Amino acid sequence: MNARTMMMMVGVLLPLIAGCQSNKVPADFSAVKESRWILAEIRTVAGGTVVLDRERNGEVFTLRFEEEMAFGTGAPNTFSGPYTRENDRLSFGPAVSTRMASFTEPEELTEHEFFGYLAATVSWDMEDGNLLLYTSGEGEVQTILMFAPL
């Protein structure tokens, strides 16, 4: 099978898989709200995975949820903003953040990219105790952010 055929299959199958996702029973969101989360991995639809080096980067790209607000850290700024959740659907509203300059930024991900992923989030799930956020682009799941509990 050539690369073009493989990409076409991914383009056809991924929306079907994403569509099936919304029909399942969602995990308990109260477990999500009881923890602080740190971004551990970024998975792309093309099968690529980026693992963030927590030892080198420290506690950046964190997230925690309260009643209707989400809070966290980028690299190096803190942010907060509203979120809405209905079953497995999740979206973040406009966020505010500090505007500190950083001398270094993690190699794997920029703060701007992290905030972009959060803005594009469409759903959530739990997998082996980790929080998964699914982002969308052009109506299809594009990226999965895996957050580990802190």
Domain ranges of the chain: 3-149
Nearest to 134 by CA among 23, 47, 116, 142: 142
Go through 98-107 and write b for each residue having 16 or more CB atoms within 10 A of its CB, e for each that does not.
eeeeeeebbe
**0.75 surpassed by pTM:** yes
The CATH number of domain 3-149, selected from 2.60.40.1170, 2.40.50.140, 3.40.800.10, 2.40.128.270: 2.40.128.270
Three-state helix/strand/coil letters over 37-50: EEEEEEEECCCCEE
Per-residue pLDDT 10s for the chain (150 aa) are: 443 433 333 343 334 344 444 445 557 899 899 899 999 999 988 888 999 887 777 788 999 999 999 999 999 899 999 999 999 999 999 999 998 887 777 778 999 999 999 999 999 999 999 999 999 977 677 899 999 999
Cβ-proximal residues to 69 (8 Å cutoff; 6+ apart), any chain: 80, 81, 82, 83
